[in-house]
Chains A and B, each alone.
Chain A
Amino acid sequence: AQKITQTQPGMFVQEKEAVTLDCTYDTSDPSYGLFWYKQPSSGEMIFLIYQGSYDQQNATEGRYSLNFQKARKSANLVISASQLGDSAMYFCAMNHPGGYNKLIFGAGTRLAVHP
């Protein structure tokens, strides 16, 4: 069965420091996509970054990078130079292209950035 696991219910980081949010996944399909979304208190889901299972390089989008370790089935999100506005819930998700691309979400990690 496909599953996303986020083991950190909450994380704290000092402003301007880097933080890593953990995500592990389980699937038997060799083709999949991994995503990270940010959900501020307003409730909207903001797409941050995508990693395909066949991508050779780790994805990067501005201050966000995805540490993709395929053999360990992990897809950790790294946020560099944290800002106060980064305080939010962060969800890791997975889909399987080729069928209909529904997303399976992890439980989420609440990040608090301290000044």
Chain B
Amino acid sequence: SAVISQKPSRDICQRGTSLTIQCQVDSQVTMMFWYRQQPGQSLTLIATANQGSEATYESGFVIDKFPISRPNLTFSTLTVSNMSPEDSSIYLCSVEDVVTSGQGRETQYFGPGTRLLVL
């Protein structure tokens, strides 16, 4: 399965500032996904990032608040802009890959996440 890393692993930020989260994959992948997990909650998809095109955002998420870049097939960034305490969450990137056992189906593998605290 793909190996995914994220930077930073955690950060504490002041309100009104912005933070860019990096996601690096050890193999070329077509689709990358960015999720948010608010404290005590489940995961919610922010957007899907394809190389060479603009990201596709889910309802409730906008590009001005969460700009995404996808310069190549192994890398993506998510920026959390003009942060407020409500943005305190774990942000996870994921990629599609083929399950390495069983029937060879595709699934999503996740990076280790970025824990963000906004004061």
Measuring CB to CB, which residues of chain A are less than 8 angstroms from any residue of chain B?
33, 35, 37, 42-47, 50, 52, 55, 59, 61, 91, 95, 97, 100-108
Contacts and interface: CB of A to CB of B under 8 A. Distances in A.
Contact of B107 (A50, A106, A108): A50
A103 B43 contact: yes
A91 to B, nearest CB: 6
Interface of B: 1, 31, 33, 37, 41-45, 48, 56, 58, 90, 92, 94, 96, 99, 101-103, 105-113, 115
Contact of B103 (A46, A55, A95): A55
A16 B113 CA distance: 30
A35 B106 CA distance: 11
Contacts, number: 65
A68 to B, nearest CB: 13
Nearest to A55: B103
Nearest to B92: A45
A91 B110 contact: no
A102 B33 contact: yes
Interface centre among B37, B41, B94 (most CB of A within 10 A): B37
